């Protein structure tokens, strides 16, 4: 059982970053500093949208499996938070940036909610598991987003997205691997 859990965790970590990397390589002119990762999933402009959005969908599915099969019985608060994060991750893929044209920033809202929820996850993780480094990770994530929104540094959201995702991973991995 533990080996299966480890394989799911590895797949969950590798899948989105593999999809992002392949999609970015296929998207001429994509810039980590000028774009958001969601630009890779734009159904009209991105030649790699199916790969990017499938990567998010698979990752969301893997998170749901782990939150319900491995975590629900141990910590329902963190499990529910992880389920909520996976829901918003799925919505990022479903409502790509094309929807912003007709539905007043729908993609932006679900993306923002995803990053808010993984930051809340870090805070809850810190409190519930007594891992104060997770508070530092949440703070760095908030600073990365504040720097982007307030100062326009960097101009694209991919860097704060990457920072947030990378800071979330240690808590997620530790939680899923440890009994």
In the predicted structure, residue 100 carries a pLDDT above the cut 80: no
* pLDDT of the residue at 3: 84
Percent of the chain with pLDDT over 70: 98
In the predicted structure, residue 102 carries a pLDDT above the cut 80: no
Structure pTM?
A: 0.95
* pLDDT of the residue at 160: 98
Per the structure, how many domains does the chain have?
Answer: 1
Domain that holds residue 163: 2-177
In the predicted structure, residue 1 carries a pLDDT above the cut 80: no
Residue 103 — pLDDT band, cuts 50, 70, 90?
confident
| Mean of per-residue pLDDT scores for the chain | 95
Residues 59 and 30: beta-carbon distance below 8 Å: no
Give the residue from 102, 124, 99, 121 showing the smallest Cα distance to 111: 99
* Higher per-residue confidence, 111 vs 102: 111
How does pLDDT run across 109-165, given as a tens digit for each residue?
999 999 999 999 999 999 999 999 999 999 999 999 999 999 999 999 999 999 999
SS (H, E, C) 47-107: CCHHHHHHHHHHHHHHHHHHHHHHHCCCCHHHHHHHHHHHHHHHHHHHCCCCHHHHCCCHH
* pLDDT of the residue at 179: 64
How does pLDDT run across 40-49, given as a tens digit for each residue?
999 999 999 9
């Amino acid at each position: 059982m533990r080996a299966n859990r480890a394989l799911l965790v590895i797949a969950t970590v590798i899948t989105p970053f593999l999809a992002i990397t392949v999609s970015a390589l296929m998207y001429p002119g994509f810039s980590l500093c000028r774009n958001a990762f969601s630009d890779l999933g734009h159904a009209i402009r991105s030649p790699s949208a199916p790969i990017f959005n499938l990567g998010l969908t698979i990752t969301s599915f893997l998170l749901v499996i782990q939150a319900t099969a491995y975590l629900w019985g141990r910590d329902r608060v963190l499990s529910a938070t992880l389920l909520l994060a996976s829901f918003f991750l799925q919505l990022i893929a479903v409502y790509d940036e094309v929807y912003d044209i007709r539905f007043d920033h729908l993609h932006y809202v679900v993306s923002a909610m995803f990053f808010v929820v993984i930051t809340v996850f870090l805070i809850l993780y810190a409190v519930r598991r007594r891992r104060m480094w997770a508070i530092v990770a949440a703070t760095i994530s908030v600073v990365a987003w504040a720097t982007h929104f307030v100062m326009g540094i960097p101009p694209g959201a991919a860097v704060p997205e990457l920072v947030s995702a990378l800071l979330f991973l240690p808590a997620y991995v530790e939680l899923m691997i440890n009994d």
